[in-house]
Amino acid sequence: MFAVKTVVLPGPDDLNEDKIDPMIDLSVEIDLLRRKRNAMILAHYYQSEEIQDLADFVGDSFDLSRRAMVADAEVIVFCGVRFMGEVAKIVNPSKTVLIPDADASCSLEESCRPEAFRLFRKKHPDHFAVTYINCSAEVKSISDVIVTSSNAEMILKQLPMNRPILFAPDRHLGNYLIKKSGRDITLWPGSCIVHEQFSERELVKLRIRHERALIVAHPECSEGILKYADHIGSTKSILDYVLASKAHEFIIATEPHIIHQMRKMAPNKVFIIALGMNGSCDCAKCPFMEKNTLSKIYLCLLNNAPRIELSEDLLQDALKPLQCMFDMSVNTNVSSNKS
Ligand code: SF4
């Protein structure tokens, strides 16, 4: 049995989207509520442009988790997906953690149910469980160490060479880590529905059309995409790479909302979105991240819900592998883009 996890939903008397006054300026109202409630808004790079622009801090999962850990605001509004809100609560449990939409899940989290993961561990009792942060609090609580795409390689290097490893839930990132580390790693068969959509055929066509463009890709992409990449890394590392590069044009094989930050920081460079199987870039947008909207941010601050609540046991058990990640990532600097 797992300890209790809840997302407290708005009550029947709370305001809902249909009842929001259409005349109000949501950005202004959110700002007023943010001050009134002493709230900090954290947003992932995969959020819409308008959400990124009103956030106090925009980052990838690792930077956002460290921001949440040191947040001194009373309320954290986490604009990302649900597991990210859970991480904020685990690393800073005295804060109220709100998420705009309780249904903002993740295909990786959904592919790895806690009971099935427990069986996976039982089948491999000698293995060390290295788990990608894209999983539920329950799965974290039965893992040995959590990693993100920005620190996975560094953490693997610190694990004893004679110990076999289980890696869940993303098989593409896992395969990439096997190649980079040469380690004995047994993979969970999960994948990201967004990064798996990119088409090798369309990528080759784009490269022919834009022969000077460099290709940058997230390691959640399949090998068919990664083999063409000039740079592979976390969302933050991709952003840093295109900003530092002398090249002018880039083909971006990750969720396209990151391009908003690229255009803001390097307005003279050209960013081309990698295409999906149907020759369109729409399938590269994360449907879970897109559930969050300005009206839902306004409502969660007003209603104090959806709100993440985790039992004491779950908070403690899930913190251990996260703390292990922070301890093993001491050389990774926290980035800052806005505060
Ligand atoms: S982009 Fe993929 S991994 Fe990230 S939240 Fe969406 S489904 Fe999950």
pLDDT per residue as tens digits for the range 8-36: 999 999 999 999 999 999 999 999 999 99
Same-domain pairing of 81 and 67: yes
pLDDT at position 283 over 90: no
Q: Is 305 helix (H, G, I), strand (E, B) or coil?
A: coil
Which of 187, 203, 220 is at the close of a domain? 187
81 close to ligand 1 (CB < 6 Angstrom): yes
Q: What is the mean pLDDT of residues 306-326?
A: 97
Whether 317 maps to a domain, the answer reads no
CATH of the domain at 230: 3.40.50.10800
Closest residue CA from atom 3 of ligand 1: 192
Residues 114-141: pLDDT tens digits?
A: 999 999 999 999 999 999 999 999 999 9
- Give me ligand 1 centre to Cα 100, in Å: 16
- Which pLDDT does position 26 carry in this prediction? 98
Closest residue CA from atom 2 of ligand 1: 192
Same-domain pairing of 16 and 81: yes
Whether 45 maps to a domain, the answer reads yes
Instruction: Please indicate whether residue 4 or residue 91 has the higher confidence score (pLDDT).
Output: 91
Tell me the pLDDT band of 282, cut-offs 50, 70 and 90.
Answer: low
Same-domain pairing of 207 and 238: yes
- Give me ligand 1 centre to Cα 291, in Å: 12
- Which pLDDT does position 332 carry in this prediction? 54
> In terms of residue numbers, what domain contains 15?
5-105+289-310
Give dist(CA 123, CA 110) in Å, integer: 21
Tell me the pLDDT band of 2, cut-offs 50, 70 and 90.
Answer: low
Same-domain pairing of 65 and 28: yes
Which of 140, 158, 187 is at the close of a domain? 187
Q: Of 195, 197, 218, 238, which is best to mutate to test ligand 1, by the most ligand atoms within 8 angstroms of its C-beta?
A: 195
Same-domain pairing of 84 and 142: no
Residues with Cβ within 8 Å of residue 300, at least 6 apart in sequence: 77, 98, 99, 100, 306, 307
Whether 118 maps to a domain, the answer reads yes
Whether 277 maps to a domain, the answer reads yes
The region of weakest confidence among 171-180, 192-201, 278-287 is: 278-287
- Within 10 Å of residue 133's Cβ, how many Cβ atoms? 26
Same-domain pairing of 170 and 205: no
- Which pLDDT does position 335 carry in this prediction? 41
Same-domain pairing of 112 and 178: yes
Whether 332 maps to a domain, the answer reads no
Same-domain pairing of 9 and 97: yes
Same-domain pairing of 58 and 148: no
Q: pLDDT averaged over the chain?
A: 94
Residue 317, phi-psi category: left (phi > 0), alpha (psi -120 to 50), beta (remainder): alpha
Domain count, the chain: 3
Same-domain pairing of 101 and 124: no
pLDDT at position 336 over 70: no
Same-domain pairing of 28 and 95: yes
193 close to ligand 1 (CB < 6 Angstrom): yes
Whether 91 maps to a domain, the answer reads yes
Which of 187, 212, 231 is at the close of a domain? 187
pLDDT at position 175 over 70: yes
Place of tokens 């039982």: 122
286 close to ligand 1 (CB < 6 Angstrom): yes
Residues 156-170: pLDDT tens digits?
A: 999 999 999 999 999
Tell which atom from ligand 1 comes closest to the C-alpha of 288. 6
Give dist(CA 144, CA 130) in Å, integer: 6
- Which pLDDT does position 333 carry in this prediction? 45
Q: What is the mean pLDDT of residues 101-113?
A: 98
Whether 92 maps to a domain, the answer reads yes
217 close to ligand 1 (CB < 6 Angstrom): no
Whether 320 maps to a domain, the answer reads no
Give dist(CA 12, CA 80) in Å, integer: 25
- Give me ligand 1 centre to Cα 8, in Å: 23
Residue 165: both structure tokens together = 């490893």
Same-domain pairing of 172 and 243: no
Give dist(CA 125, CA 119) in Å, integer: 10
